[in-house]
Amino acid sequence: MPNLEHPAYPAATLHHLESLVPCRESQVSMLLSIFGERQQFSFPSIFIYGHTSSGKTYVMQTLLNTLKLPHVFVNCVEYFTSRLLLEEILIQLQSRSSATEQTSQVSCDTFNDFVRLFKQAVASRELQDETLYIVLDRAEQLREMEANILPAFLRLQELTDRNVTVILLSEIVWELFRPNIGCFEPFTLYFPDYSIGHLQKILSQSHPPDYSADFYAAYINILLGVFYMVCRDLKELQHLAALNFSKYCEPVVRGEANERDTRKLWKNIEPHLKKAMQTVYLREISSAQWERLQHDDGEPGQLKGLSAHTHVELPYYSKFLLIAAYLASYNPVRTDKRFFLKHHGKIRKTNFMKKHEKTSNHLLGPKPFPLDRLLAILYSIVDNRVAPTANIFSQITSLVTLQLLSMVGHNDQLDGPRYKCTVSLDFIRAVAR
C-alpha cells in the first residue's frame, strides 16, 4: 500500500499513524481526504459501517488522537437515552474548552437546547479555528431514540452554523437507518472484514521479545489454520494467541525442539487448540484457570466448565422431555414395550434383530418420532404423575427454539407433529446426572 500523504500534516506523523493502523491504509487515506485541513469545513456527516472487530472504533480513535484533532467520542450503548447522550457531548466539549477550567453540570432536555448550548461550548478560539468531530460509536442505538435525533445529528453543521462533523460508527448498513420521511444523506464508508493475510500481519506484530518474529509468525499461522473458519474476530484471536503461546513454546523451553522444528511444535500444541475450540467466544473460566488446566494435561472430558452444554440450565420437566426425546430418537418403536412396561411379557428375538445386532443406532443418527410417543415415554420415566397441560407443550416448543429438538415436516400435518432429538449422548448424560 502507498504511504499516507497529506499536505496539512508532517510526514513523520503520517508514517507513525500508518504503523498504528496496519491493513487499514486505504480507509485512513479516504478519511484524510474527507477531513481536509484543520480549518476547512469537512463533510457534515460520515457513516462508517462494517462487521464487529473490523477496526472502526480503533481506527477513528487512533486517527483523531495521533493527529490531535479536537473531537468528542461517545458510546451510544453507555448513554442510551437522548438526554444522556446530548449532555455527555456537552460535558466533553466543556472539558476541551480552555475558557472553562471546571466542567459544570449541564441540563439538556431537547435538541433545541443542545444546539444553543453547543454554540456556547465551541465559542473558544481553539474550537472555532478547527473542525470539531463528534464520533457516535454503536450508532444503531440512535434508532431507539426520538425520531428527530438522527436527522438532527446528520445536519448538525447546518443547524449550528459551526465547523463540526458528525461521524456515526455502526455494524449495520445505512439502509436500515434511513427514516421513511427521508433525511440528509451522509457520506458512507465501508470497513471490510480482515482477510487471513491481514490477521496474520496484525497478530504477528505483537510477538514477544524473547522469541524471533519468524517463530511467532509460524505460531500465528498454525493458530489461524485452526480457528479462522470458526472465528474471525480480531480481539478473540488475540486472546487465543496470548493464551496458548506458552504451551506452543514448551518443547523449545525444555530443549526437545528448536524454533524451526515445526512438526514437533504442532504435535505438542494440537490437542490444546482442539480444547480451546470448545470455548471460542465463551468466558466460562478465567485465563489463569485455563492455563492451570493446560498444565494439568487433562482430557477434554475432564475439564469442568469448558462447554456450555455440560451445565445447561433447563426447567425440571424440560430435562425429562429431552431425555424422553433422546430415547425415542435412538430406540426402535418395538423396544418401547420392553423398556417402559413392567409386565411386558416375553420378547421374541427375530431374524431382523440378529441381522442388525452389531449396528449402533448412534451411527445411524436420530430417527423422527411422533408427539404421542414422546409423551408416553415421558410419563413412564417421571416418578410422579404428569398432566398433559399447556406448560408441558410450551416447554416442547422452547426445546425446539433452543435447537435441542428439531421439528420434522410441517405444522399442518394431520397426524400430528414429529420431532427429532439433535443433542449428543454426552449432553444427555450430563442432563441425566
**What does the pLDDT read at residue 401?**
86
Spatial neighbors of 79 by CB under 8 A, at least 6 apart, are: 85, 88
The answer on 321 and 303 residing in a single domain is no
What CATH number is given to the structural domain containing 417?
1.10.10
The answer on 330 and 302 residing in a single domain is no
Domain assignment present for residue 100? The answer is yes
The answer on 285 and 177 residing in a single domain is no
**What does the pLDDT read at residue 31?**
96
> Which residues is 133 bridged to in the sheet?
71, 165
The answer on 284 and 330 residing in a single domain is no
The answer on 333 and 296 residing in a single domain is no
State the Cα–Cα distance between residues 429 and 433, nearest whole angstrom: 6
**What does the pLDDT read at residue 27?**
95
Instruction: List the one residue out of 336, 340, 285, 320 whose CA is nearest residue 404.
Output: 320
Of 172, 190, 208, the last residue of a domain is 190
The answer on 233 and 134 residing in a single domain is no
Domain assignment present for residue 4? The answer is no
Domain assignment present for residue 45? The answer is yes
The answer on 288 and 179 residing in a single domain is no
Q: How many residues does the chain have?
A: 433
Domain assignment present for residue 1? The answer is no
The answer on 423 and 283 residing in a single domain is no
**What does the pLDDT read at residue 284?**
57
Kindly report, residue by residue over 271-316, the tens digit of the pLDDT.
Answer: 888 878 777 766 656 666 666 666 665 544 444 444 444 456 788 8
Spatial neighbors of 230 by CB under 8 A, at least 6 apart, are: 277, 280
Strands 418-421 and 405-408 turn out to be: antiparallel
Instruction: List the one residue out of 22, 19, 347, 416 whose CA is nearest residue 197.
Output: 22
The pTM (predicted TM-score) of the whole model is 0.68
State the Cα–Cα distance between residues 39 and 158, nearest whole angstrom: 17
**What does the pLDDT read at residue 114?**
96
The answer on 172 and 144 residing in a single domain is yes
What angle is formed at CA 392 by the lines to CA 391 and CA 394, rounded to 5 degrees?
65
**What does the pLDDT read at residue 309?**
46
The answer on 60 and 116 residing in a single domain is yes
Domain assignment present for residue 201? The answer is no
Domain that holds residue 413: 316-340+362-432
**What does the pLDDT read at residue 346?**
60
State the Cα–Cα distance between residues 300 and 49, nearest whole angstrom: 39
Residues of the chain with pLDDT under 50: 1, 100, 299-310, 352
Type and span of the H or E element at 268: helix 262-277
Domain assignment present for residue 428? The answer is yes
φ, ψ of residue 375 to 5 degrees: the values are -70, -35
Please give the tally of structural domains in the chain: 3
The answer on 335 and 392 residing in a single domain is yes
**What does the pLDDT read at residue 166?**
97
Domain assignment present for residue 202? The answer is no
Domain assignment present for residue 300? The answer is yes
What CATH number is given to the structural domain containing 23?
3.40.50.300
The answer on 330 and 370 residing in a single domain is yes
